[in-house]
Structure 1
Amino acid sequence: MATIEVKVQIKAPAEKVWEIVSDIDNEPKFWKGTKEVKNISKNDNIINREITIAFRDQKCMQEVTLVPKERIHAKFTKGIINGEKIVSLIPKGDTTTLQTTWDIKLTGMMGMFTGMIKKHIKSGTEQAMNSIKNEIER
């Protein structure tokens, strides 16, 4: 498994950060590795969806659980990626630390490339988190 953790400090309260990050339909705007999102079902705070990732336009299924103003837990349930991505909000006064943690591996024969894509995912995560920060702080 590849574990990746990226943090960014945002000069805004958790409520404002949550407004942006919890709009998961808008994910491709910030996360360049996510090309398209298609919701399949929604039950309270749990959304089942299909995403198209930039890596060879592969489709993956996710179960996304929203824990308001705390975290978004995206579990990959089918496709080339196995594992999870967790986006957490850590409020401290009038600032919020936004943290993304990946614990994933590629499935099947692609598993041997997990280490190679780790740098790519980390770079994409840093870019996404900085884009979110810039959107909120402008």
Structure 2
Amino acid sequence: MAQIQASIEIDAPIDKVWSIVSDLDSEPKFWKGTKEVRNISKEGNTITREVTIAFKDSKCMQTVTLYPKEKIQIQFTKGVIEGTKALTLAQTGSKTRLDVIWDMKLTGMMGMFTGMIKKHIQSGSEQALESIKQEAQR
């Protein structure tokens, strides 16, 4: 499994940052590796969805669990990616720290490309956090 981590400090209250990151339909606006999101079902704070990712327009199934103003846990349940992605928020004074941690690998024959894809996911995550920061600080 490849571990990818990125963090950013945002000069905005946690409520504002949460409203941006928890709007799951707008994920492709910030996460360039996510091309399309299709929600399938919602039960409480858990959403099952199909995501089209930029890597060969592959479709992945995900279970997303929202822990309001604290964390978003994404489990890849089917598709070319196996593993998790977690976004965590922490308030420090008037600022919010936003972290993303991936623990993932590519499945099947694509597994040999995990190292190469790791670099793309790392830079994509850093870009996404920066975009979220810009949006929150408006």
Same fold (TM over 0.5): yes
When the two structures are superposed, what TM-score results if normalisation uses the length of structure 2? 0.99
Segments of 5+ residues of structure 1 without an aligned counterpart are none
Matches within 5 A, 1:16-55: 16-55=16-55
- Secondary structure of the 2:105 match is strand
Partner of 1:114: 114
Runs of 4+ in 1 over 6 A off after TM superposition: none
Residue 61 of structure 1: aligned partner: 61
What residue number does 2:4 align with?
Answer: 4
Which TM-score applies when normalising by structure 1?
A: 0.99
Please list every run of 5 or more consecutive structure 2 residues that lacks an aligned counterpart in the other structure: none
CA–CA separation in structure 2 for the residues paired with 1:93 and 1:13 = 9
Q: Aligned residues: percent identity?
A: 64
Aligned to 1:105: 105
Provide the secondary structure at the position in 2 that maps to 1:32. coil
Q: Secondary structure at the match of 1:12?
A: coil
Shift of 1:89: 0.1
Structure 2 residue identity aligned to 1:7:
S
